[in-house]
């Protein structure tokens, strides 16, 4: 795991003990910190308890759970000092004066959670900030940070793949894969590639990326911010923390171009920085394919960003080209699930807002579109250019009725409510050569734990057809 000598003797509270929280507790304890941890789920508390002595007798905790997974496996055996360094208490019930930080999950809504007021002057941070603090104790390395509204996961995975194919030691983390603190440190010369959501950037204060990337900006997560400008400003903070290296800026839409120009001017005005700015093209040739898994203008943006990053890291053009050609798409991103009775079934569950669904509607003809979930916006205007390819829509989740109303004037619509029912209805109506596309344009949290669970449920429903 990644840890830091700088944490020795310090005191942290950790709120939330899912994957990143559990990894944070392990890393802090290994670094010699004192930790007060809490999760409302007793099973999660028990899963990180090294022994009964550290479970907080008298607080009502039960026996240790024997059910574990790689993400929630018990801590290694600790010395008595280490065991005493871990206690359980809700940070909202204790005085946080003197703590060096309150580490929260990115899922904690800072705009309305009581921990913000209760913490007072104690910094509220996340695991990415702890990684930033640990960098001085790691072998010499570089960090790439990728943010933006859409395309982060693909671009992160693509950069990681190119580096891996080039023989460069690399780790991928942040908002993708294993928590970064749970991963082994890289040897000298390695590159950490981090997907960074606005939530994670909000909890980060000192991550000076060697290469920082802003792909694009469209309205998203507006329940957490006082409007689009505040959301965009959160993303832009990644560049305020950067004092060297390269900034890669996408400019495809008006908002992206405006913020790219603002970041460019900001870097030009700073004294004592050494940041080179690379601005991506505003328009892309949709006929150009960078690799078999990178078709479409949205993937051109991802590929050009990855190329700019890899060039900044010193890779040559042939090495980058070979990596682009051998890259394969991530799960749940326009992923072909199966063909049943001549009908293709495509899982694009990662499309959690209308802008990220738009490319899928333009990628196929004669689409039976499964759309809906927990809506992030009140319109589907970004998807409109692909409406002509949709022969029928099936709406699901809490947005089912609203989306049926929005789409009814443009295409036949059926309110299916559930994903299983939508798959059955689409399978009945589709004919050979058609595509049944799950591209929800919504978050998944009304009916599923995350977009991956939604994608798996789609695959299971398709499997049941056979």
User: Do 257 and 276 belong to one domain?
Assistant: yes
Is-contact 392 370, C-beta < 8 A?
A: no
Give pLDDT, residue 122. Answer: 97
> Do 308 and 365 belong together in one domain?
no
| Cα gap 22→336, rounded to integer Å | 34
Same domain, 317 and 173: yes
Same structural domain for residues 350 and 287? no
CA distances to 79, 165, 311, 315 from 321, rounded to whole Å, are: 50, 11, 11, 10
Planar angle of CA 411, 298, 173, nearest 5 degrees = 120
Structure letter (DSSP) for residue 135: G
Instruction: Report the CATH number that the domain containing residue 152 is assigned in CATH.
Output: 3.40.1190.10
Q: Are residues 168 and 290 in the same domain?
A: yes
pLDDT of 84 reads 58
- Closest C-alpha among 437, 458, 435, 436 to residue 447: 458
> What is the CB neighbour count within 10 angstroms for residue 230?
13
User: Alpha-carbon distance 122 to 108, whole Å?
Assistant: 16
Query: Tens-digit pLDDT profile for the chain (466 aa)?
Result: 999 999 999 999 999 998 899 999 999 999 999 999 999 999 999 988 765 444 343 332 222 222 333 333 334 444 445 555 899 999 999 999 999 999 999 888 898 999 999 999 999 999 999 999 999 999 999 999 999 999 999 999 999 999 999 999 999 999 998 999 999 999 999 999 999 999 999 999 999 999 999 999 988 777 889 999 999 999 999 999 999 999 999 998 999 999 999 999 999 898 888 899 999 998 887 677 798 888 777 889 999 999 999 999 999 999 999 999 999 888 898 888 999 999 999 999 999 999 889 989 988 999 999 999 999 888 999 999 999 999 999 999 999 999 999 999 999 999 999 999 999 999 999 999 999 999 999 999 999 999 999 999 999 999 999 7
User: Within a domain: residue 296?
Assistant: yes
Domain that holds residue 389: 335-465
* Same domain flag for 111 and 172: no
Is the same domain home to 321 and 428?
Answer: no
Rg (CA), the chain: 23
Are the CB atoms for 55 and 108 separated by under 8 Å? no
Domain count, the chain: 3
Residue at 178 is within a domain: yes
Same structural domain, 266 and 347 = no
81 and 229 in a common domain: no
Do 163 and 312 lie in one domain? The reply is yes
Residue 429 lies in a domain: yes
461 is a domain residue: yes
CA distance 105 to 46: 18
Label the pairing between strands 343-347 and 335-340: antiparallel
- Together in a domain, 168 and 308: yes
396 SS3 class: strand
- Is 133 among the domain residues? no
Is there a single domain that holds both residue 90 and residue 199? Answer: no
Closest CA relative to residue 306, chosen from 250, 262, 358, 266: 250
């Amino acid at each position: 795991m990644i840890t830091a000598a700088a944490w020795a003797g310090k005191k942290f509270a950790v709120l939330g003990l899912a994957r990143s929280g559990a990894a944070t507790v392990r890393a802090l304890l290994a670094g010699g910190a004192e930790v007060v941890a809490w999760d409302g789920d007793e099973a999660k508390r028990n899963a990180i308890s090294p022994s009964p002595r550290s479970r907080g007798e008298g607080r009502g905790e039960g026996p240790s759970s024997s059910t574990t997974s790689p993400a929630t496996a018990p801590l290694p055996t600790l010395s008595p000092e280490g065991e005493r360094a871990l206690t359980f208490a809700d940070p909202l019930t204790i005085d946080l004066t003197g703590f060096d930080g309150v580490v929260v999950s990115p899922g904690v809504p800072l705009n309305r959670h009581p921990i913000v007021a209760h913490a007072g002057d104690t910094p509220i941070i996340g695991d990415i900030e702890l990684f930033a603090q640990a960098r001085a104790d790691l072998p010499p390395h570089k960090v790439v940070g990728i943010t933006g509204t859409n395309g982060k996961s693909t671009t992160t995975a693509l950069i990681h793949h190119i580096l891996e194919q080039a023989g460069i030691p690399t780790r991928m983390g942040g908002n993708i894969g294993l928590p970064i603190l749970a991963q082994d440190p890289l040897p000298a010369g390695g590159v950490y590639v981090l997907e960074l959501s606005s939530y994670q950037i909000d909890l980060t204060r000192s991550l000076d990326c060697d290469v920082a990337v802003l792909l694009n900006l469209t309205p998203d997560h507006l329940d957490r911010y006082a409007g689009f400008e505040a959301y965009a400003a959160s993303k832009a903070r990644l560049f305020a923390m950067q004092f060297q290296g390269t900034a890669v800026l996408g400019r495809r839409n008006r908002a992206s171009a405006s913020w790219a120009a603002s970041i460019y001017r900001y870097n030009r005005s700073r004294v004592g920085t050494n940041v080179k700015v690379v601005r991506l093209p505003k328009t892309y040739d949709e006929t150009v394919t960078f690799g078999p898994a990178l078709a479409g203008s949205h993937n051109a943006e991802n590929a050009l960003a990855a190329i700019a990053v890899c060039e900044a890291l010193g890779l040559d053009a042939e090495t980058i080209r070979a990596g682009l050609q051998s890259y394969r798409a991530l799960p749940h991103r326009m992923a072909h699930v199966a063909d049943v009775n001549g009908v293709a079934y495509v899982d694009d569950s990662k499309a959690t807002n209308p802008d990220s669904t738009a490319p899928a509607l333009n990628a196929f003809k004669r689409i039976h579109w499964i759309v809906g979930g927990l809506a992030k916006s009140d319109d589907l205007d970004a998807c409109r250019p692909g409406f002509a390819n949709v022969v029928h829509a099936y709406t699901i989740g809490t947005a089912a009725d609203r989306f049926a109303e929005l789409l009814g004037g443009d295409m036949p619509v059926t309110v299916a409510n559930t994903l299983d029912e939508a798959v059955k209805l689409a399978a009945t109506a589709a004919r050979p050569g058609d595509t049944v596309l799950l591209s929800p344009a919504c978050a998944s949290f009304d009916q599923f734990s995350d977009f991956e669970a939604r994608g798996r449920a789609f695959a299971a429903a398709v499997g049941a057809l056979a």
